[in-house]
Structure 1
């Protein structure tokens, strides 16, 4: 049976691959995007996750088109990388407001419908950086680490209503963001990854789809790494 799925930041990279993977399962998939154009074949809803009213409007649009959201993937995120002593309050606030508070806003709004349905899957897209740390990414790492505490708290609050909340923590993935790295930086990163390669966006997407599948019904509050072994032990 087709479910109503919403992927935030679903117009490119990992988010787009996640949306495509759910669509391939036969689900009704909506994606939010802040700029540019939505990918073809999906219900595209413009939404700024830093604005609670905008989040509410976007959810209403999705609910009208394909019913209450049964699977939420909170993927929208930004970076503003710089060293701690150069990081402005704005650099910090913008990243936390989008990546962490934005995920809170969409999870809270999705939970309303899920509670009425007495079922639901929430997947928060974090990063290996949230567990390992990364020089020049104090803001990003803090935002991605915060998602773990959020998911585990949601898991405890909503578990009795058959709502699960889990985290996927990708490592280095072949996207537009990694494509622009200098060659020596790419080689340095690859040397740290036991599998010796970057992930494909499809590998991250298949993990997200699995967490929302019947086979993962008894998994909640988990952090699933998709990082080629980079962050093992964390």
Structure 2
């Protein structure tokens, strides 16, 4: 699939050192985008991925909870590859724990990375998209945002915030032909879920209609739809195998 007409051919993927981010970055590179790969603690992984991609890349590091750092990373990508036409926010953290016992700093950090990090990335790329009158923003969220799950109040609240941001931002920027949507994968075979006990994994797998977890590539067809369509905006697209949390 080619780059959509009118959309600047540079994509930025936050959290590109993670399983989903790496799959997204590789896929967009294969489609012909120049790709900015953002990482925080996983720069080596992002650089290793960049070395395997067919098109131009730029690896940048930033704590997405830091607005100035994100702005600097976006400026670096734009300076090396051109203005960002597609943003996919895959950076995220999840630390499970009952609200009554969870450290407030852990709770706050989860919201700062997942929700404020999405806000910072969107805010940094929007000026160029609005000038170009074209752009695609895709935020990664979670079924926990709408279904809830014990032990995930911070994660669920942060992802619910992302979905609210997506719906409202879509209304703000639609007249400039910038679309804003979210992808909501279920449990994915990735590092964020690697610490779950085996019995929890088995239970959750049994709660999906398809009887399996997703692999990162399962999100790519839905991603293509959101990148290619100029007329889908303000939507949360579930790619969750029918999971019931």
Tell me the equivalent position of 1:8: 14
Structure 2: distance between partners of 1:108 and 1:176: 27
Q: 2:173 aligns with which of 137, 151, 158?
A: 158
| 1:135 and 2:150 correspond | yes
Tell me the equivalent position of 1:40: 50
Q: 1:205 aligns with which of 211, 220, 227?
A: 220
Tell me the equivalent position of 2:6: none
When the two chains are superposed, the root-mean-square deviation of aligned CA atoms in Å is 1.4
Q: Which runs of 4+ in 1 moved over 2 A?
A: 39-42, 176-183
The runs of 5 or more residues in structure 1 that have no matched partner are: none
Q: Deviation per CA, 1:32-84, whole angstroms, max 9, x where unpaired?
A: 10013122333210111111111111111001111111000111111121101
| 1:64 and 2:79 correspond | yes
**Maintained 8 Å contact 2:209/2:241:** yes
Structure 2: distance between partners of 1:24 and 1:94: 34
- Equivalent residues in 2 for 1:185-200, closer than 5 Å: 185-200=200-215
Once the two structures are TM-superposed, the CA of residue 231 in structure 1 deviates from its matched residue by 4.8
- Equivalent residues in 2 for 1:80-229, closer than 5 Å: 80-213=95-228, 216-229=229-242
Q: Deviation per CA, 1:67-120, whole angstroms, max 9, x where unpaired?
A: 111000111111121101111221111011110011001101111110110110
Once the two structures are TM-superposed, the CA of residue 207 in structure 1 deviates from its matched residue by 1.8
Give the secondary structure class of the aligned counterpart of 2:11: strand
Tell me the equivalent position of 2:27: 21
Give the secondary structure class of the aligned counterpart of 1:212: helix
**Maintained 8 Å contact 2:88/2:138:** yes
Structure 2: distance between partners of 1:178 and 1:152: 27
Per the normalisation by structure 1, the TM-score is: 0.94
Give the secondary structure class of the aligned counterpart of 2:100: helix
Give the secondary structure class of the aligned counterpart of 1:206: helix
Give the secondary structure class of the aligned counterpart of 1:104: helix
Q: CA 1:67–1:78 in structure 2 vs 1: closer, same or farther (change >3 Å)?
A: same
The runs of 5 or more residues in structure 2 that have no matched partner are: 4-8, 52-56
**Maintained 8 Å contact 1:21/1:209:** no
Per the normalisation by structure 2, the TM-score is: 0.90
The range that moved more, 182-191 or 18-27, is 182-191
